[in-house]
Each structure stands twice: as C-alpha cells, then as structure tokens.
Amino acid sequence: MRIFAGDTELFAQSVTVSESLFDYCATLVFTLSYPMIYDKVSLEVAGQYEFVPVAVERVSVQEYQYTCYPKAYMDFLQRVTTPINLTGTLQEVLEALAVCEFEVVNKTQKVHYVLPSMGGKTLIDTLIAESCAVNGGCPTIHFGLNGTMYFIDVLAQQNAEVSTSFSGNMVEQRSGASFINRESGSMRFLFFDDDTQTEQIAKFQEGSGMRNMYKLITTEDRKSVEIGKFQAAFWRRFVNNTFVKYDSVFTLPSSPGSRCTEIGTDKTFILISRQDIAQDAQSTTYVLFPYGETDQIL
C-alpha cells in the first residue's frame, strides 16, 4: 500500500485501510514524520483510489496521524436531494436521486418511497430503513474504497456464489442476544387510521423477544415499509452480535459482503469487515458472519 499526493509519494510510517458494511465509508489512516499540506491523496493498492483528509492528530513529537475518507463520499455529503414520491426498487430510487455512483448488489423489493429533501447520513439511514432485498432483511449501505455506494443485504448474500477462500487464525468469536431488550425478533403491530384498527404480527426470528408497536398509517403500502424498518434494525443488531474474527488472514482480494469459505473446512461466512495494516509487514484482519445462523422467518 502506497500513498501519493499528485505524483509525489508520501512515505508513510504505517498505513491502515478499513472497510465495513456497517460503517458509512471506507477509512484510510496513515502516519507521517512531518505535517502534510495536501488536501487530497490517493491510495495505491490493486488500483488507485482518491481520499480526502478529514482529521489530523499529532500522536508524538515526530508523528502525525491522518484520517481520510473517499473523495466520492465527501462529494456525496455536499449534495442535497430533491423530494421524491415513487413506488419502485432501490435501484430506481437511486437513479431518481442521482447523487453518486452506486451498485445495488441484491435485488430489492418494490416499496413506496416518500422522501423529503435530505442528504448525507440522513439519506443513507433512511434508505437502509426503507429498503429490503428479496429474501433479505439485513440491509447495509456503505461507500467502498473506490468511492462507489454499495447496497448489500447480509441475509440475501447467503444465497450468493462463494467468491473466495481464506485462511487465518481465529482470535475472537461472539454470539449474543442481549440486544433483544432493544430490538425484538417479533413485533405485534397495531395499525390504525381515523376509522379502523388492524393487528399484524411480524416474526423475524422465533424466540427473540416480542414488542408492541402502535403506528398511525394512512396508506396500505406503508405497512410493509414500517415492518421492514424493524426487521432491518433487528438483523443489523443480530449480525453485529454474531461474528468470528480472524487475523493473519491470507486470501485473494475480497471486499465486505463477499461470501467466502475457510480453507480446509466446510465453513462458509459473509465478510462483514476487513482491515489491512501495512507497517513493517502487511497483515489483514477479517470479521465474518457465520452462514446459516439466522433461522429467519420471512
């Protein structure tokens, strides 16, 4: 991994590149022995990607640490969308918004989007909450190293083709359900308007808590959107609490959202995040979601 400012190489003492499905964008962190005057840098690693410094910290007498985001993500934060009101897939919504380069990895269901003028984090959070992949339920949106916005559903990716294999040392494993007091796996919705009241039970995973939710709904098509919001919140929390972590990973190039297998075993995972650190030598760390852990009720 090499850092450049224009045609000038910046000889960084260390370089860390992180990308996760649950972060808004990939992050580049590097340290220099001198202060940098450039407002844009590029990372060279299996391609060249533009980044913008967003923070600098002097961590020692002769060490300056820079944190950078993809330039395309910073450009995205400067844009504000026009209001839209349409029924369609996420692909159609993003085409209508036209705020950035994007890739919808998993086909999404058609829903009714009513979006006011918004931008940045608010827009991403809203699209995550209101979009659901076919046979999915755990939507994520993030900007990759190349500055493209990706929509990837973790549950839908369990039906994808295996893209790579890896080997490494497992250093951490977690499986917990302590979050069910905040995000339940079953919801009893009481939808009402001026004249009627209807009850609907949505189960995302059996035995994962039950909550009541009262919602004023003026149109039928908004019911599925409201249910989808709670489904997404539950599964995003579930995946964040169910993972295995490997360091000293050896693998072919792969990005978060890929379905991969561990060499020498029949274990299959969805790659949630990866971190590459280059200092004296380069090392890679994976955080993965185990395949088949969901028992989702669709």
Per-residue model confidence as pLDDT tens digits over 153-178: 999 998 888 888 999 999 999 987 77
Q: Is the pLDDT of residue 215 over 80?
A: no
Q: What are phi and psi of 90, to 5 degrees?
A: -60, -35
Return the pLDDT at 293. 56
Give the number of other Cβ atoms within 10 Å of residue 71's Cβ: 16
* pLDDT bracket for residue 57 (50, 70, 90): very high
* pLDDT bracket for residue 262 (50, 70, 90): very high
Of 251, 260, 256, 249, the C-alpha closest to 283 is 249
Per-residue model confidence as pLDDT tens digits over 97-151: 999 999 999 999 998 898 999 999 999 999 999 998 988 889 999 999 999 999 9
Return the pLDDT at 298. 45
**CA dihedral for 73, 77, 79, 80, sign (positive or negative):** positive
Q: Is the pLDDT of residue 42 over 70?
A: yes
* pLDDT bracket for residue 294 (50, 70, 90): low
Q: Which amino acid is at 100?
A: C
